[in-house]
Amino acid sequence: MTHDHDLVLRPTQAQIDAALNPPAGRNGGDLVVETLAGLGATTVFGLPGQHALGMFDALRRSDLRYIGLRVENNAGFAADAYGRITGEAAPLLLSTGPGALTSLAALQEAAAASAPVLAISSQIPTAGLGGGRHGYLHELPDQAASFRGVVKSVHTVRTQSQIPSALEAAWKSALTAPHGPVWVEIPQDVLLAETSVPVVTGGDAFPEELPPRPELTAVAAHLLSHAERPAIIAGGGVVRADASGKLRQLAETLQAPVVATPGGKGAFPWTHPLSLQSWIEDRHTTDFLEDADVLLVVGSGLGELSSNYHTFKPRGRVIQIEADLGKLESNHPALGIHADARLALQALLETVTERTDPTASERVRAVLAKVADRIAAQELTLEQDVLASVRKALPADSPSFWDMTILAYWAWSAFDAKGPNHMHTAQGAGGLGYGFPAALGAAAADPTRPVLAVSGDGGALYSIAELATARQYDLPVTWLIVDDGGYGILREYMTDAFGEATATELTRPDYVALAESFGVPGVRTTPETLEADLAKALQTPGPSVVVLPAVLRMFAPTHLTA
């Protein structure tokens, strides 16, 4: 029997001639960019370095667009966002040692958020591999060891003929559910040496699918169809699988209320009668979910931020659909279904029976009313008004990228993303500096719509150098910097815990003047003028900065007294 994958297409004579006589002047770097182009890449991010110059020289002979950032970690954040927006593996070109290691925090965020990043680093010359301690510049005994605990897979190339296959394997790894960052390293001499390997003309860019086991979805469908109080938690896996439409159809069929995790923002319509929105960090919501007799968790590991800081204790049956095998039942016993969210939801749609529940939307309204009353009692009008102004100013189809700052913590719970894949934060790994460089990556992916970045002044100082990148490539990113003179959330945490804060106060620059020194227009705003100033900046082509001096407060947590 002959299978389709056993068939080998016979090359034409022209292809044979081209393979036997490759163009002169090519090196190992050309094999990298040719393979990337063959896999479908159009844009690469990165920073040049001495060992990586072979790759960067090859860019000159390719049609790939290069977006160069000023710090490797920021380049990683930009690639992360490009991968989230496009669903493609975003190439990130790095140099050896310090350049490579500087990207680690960004790759951790990509791993935590399942963003497909294809990191390609140079290495010391082949003779130095294996930890021989020859004293090469940037030498590490085992560079790959620094990345194995962070990325999905590691691929070390030792010869030019390995480059196309290694990159193709890494590409598929990055795009196989769950998506994530991968690491490829290629020695300097392999990149620089002239090559006789034929021009790379294509590649298999299609990763394997991850369907659910039918016996498991059959049980899940039975449980959901006969539940009295079903509920759904929608995580980031729904967004990454482009499964929000199927989620909505299933929720309506089952009349099951839905709450979105911070990573699942936009997975379910905010104003839908069954929408519990994103108030997952609230005891009223936690109590409601605990009372469900069947709880469907889609694309979430129910980690700290998705379980009200592990105070969530479900009393009913839990069904967990998760593409990351290691997260399956990692926090709660469940009917675990290892699958891509889209394929699993489709299987459930084909097997569940319709439920009627006239009380579902009433129960949702009651929970949201309790949440609103709790927040209203805390006199946090400034914070709510600022967040509302941002929402009004931002076009409904524009993506936003939020750093780890108090306004972002509010947004996790209270911001309407207006659609799937529109709101992204650094809540996966929780590192500072994500918002602005990530927004630049999103703008590179789709420059037809403005992009919003939101940072505190502490996070802004991590990525201020990228104002030069924004200006150089004229990327349509408006950067809102909430300037409270320090690490605001840490100031709150320490004051609450110890009575006073230490090491949280910052001397900061004049951000408007600093932006203008890069040729980027800036404006200082107030809570009253924020909506108008932000809307104007978003409507103006190219980059801009809006600075809001304000001390915001967090709403009171409910997990400490649970």
Give the tens place of pLDDT for each residue, 16-71.
Answer: 656 666 788 899 999 999 999 999 999 999 999 999 999 999 999 999 999 999 99
For the cut 80, the answer to whether the pLDDT of residue 14 exceeds it is: no
Q: What are phi and psi of 170, to 5 degrees?
A: -65, -40
Give the tens place of pLDDT for each residue, 302-318.
Answer: 998 889 889 999 999 99
| Mean pLDDT of the 389-399 span | 98
Global pTM? 0.95
Q: What integer pLDDT is reported at residue 157 of this predicted model?
A: 96
Phi-psi region of 263 (alpha: psi -120 to 50; beta: other; left: phi over 0): alpha
CA triplet 232, 238, 240: central angle to 5 degrees?
Answer: 165
Q: What is the dihedral of CA 106, 111, 113, 117, to 10 degrees?
A: 70
Comparing C-alpha atoms, which of 401, 478, 491, 485 is closest to residue 442?
401
| Mean pLDDT of the 87-103 span | 97
For the cut 90, the answer to whether the pLDDT of residue 170 exceeds it is: yes
For the residues of 140-167, what is the DSSP string, one character each?
-TTTTHHHHTTSS-EEE--SGGGHHHHH
Q: What integer pLDDT is reported at residue 20 of this predicted model?
A: 65
For the cut 90, the answer to whether the pLDDT of residue 114 exceeds it is: yes
Q: Count of alpha carbons within 13 Å of 507, Cβ hemisphere only?
A: 0
Contact 351, 218 (CB under 8 A): yes
Q: What integer pLDDT is reported at residue 18 of this predicted model?
A: 60
Average pLDDT over the chain, rounded to whole? Answer: 94
Q: How confident is the model at residue 13 (pLDDT cuts 50, 70, 90)?
A: low
Q: What integer pLDDT is reported at residue 120 of this predicted model?
A: 98
Token pair 């095998």 is found at 325
For the cut 90, the answer to whether the pLDDT of residue 416 exceeds it is: yes
Q: What integer pLDDT is reported at residue 202 of this predicted model?
A: 83
Please report, rounded to a whole number, the percentage of residues in the chain having pLDDT higher than 70: 96
| Mean pLDDT of the 147-166 span | 97
| Mean pLDDT of the 484-489 span | 93
For the cut 50, the answer to whether the pLDDT of residue 206 exceeds it is: yes
3-state secondary structure 82-117: HHHHHCCCEEEEECCCHHHHCCHHHHHHHHHHCCCE
For the cut 80, the answer to whether the pLDDT of residue 489 exceeds it is: yes
For the cut 90, the answer to whether the pLDDT of residue 15 exceeds it is: no
Contact 544, 479 (CB under 8 A): yes
